[in-house]
């Protein structure tokens, strides 16, 4: 799906896809990537933030629908 100016159209399926999130958590170690403590901590904090967001989203939906 492309528009006339060459940009791809964003559909609802693109916004609801969670493939990149699972790839972020379950990817193999790449030996060519730099091993830096700051980078390791940043990715760890990002993973914790994503998990907290998803847990809170489930709680909010449970309270609204339950």
Domain residue limits at 53:
12-65
Residue 34, in any domain of the structure: yes
Higher pLDDT, 17 or 49: 49
In the prediction, which pLDDT does 31 show? 82
User: Is the overall model pTM greater than 0.75, yes or no?
Assistant: no
Q: Give the model's confidence band at 65: pLDDT under 50 very low, under 70 low, under 90 confident, else very high.
A: very high
Residues 6+ apart with CB under 8 A from 46: 24
Residue 58, in any domain of the structure: yes
Cα distance between residue 28 and residue 52, in whole Å: 23
Number of domains in the chain: 1
Taking residues 16-34, what's their average pLDDT?
A: 73
Alpha-helix runs per DSSP H in 1-66: 12-15, 19-25, 37-65
């Amino acid at each position: 799906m492309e528009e006339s100016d060459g940009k791809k159209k964003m559909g609802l399926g693109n916004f609801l896809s969670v493939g990149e999130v699972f790839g972020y958590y379950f990817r193999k170690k790449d030996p060519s990537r730099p091993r830096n403590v700051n980078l390791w901590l940043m990715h760890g904090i990002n993973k914790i933030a994503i998990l907290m967001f998803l847990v809170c989203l489930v709680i909010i939906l449970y309270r609204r629908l339950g």
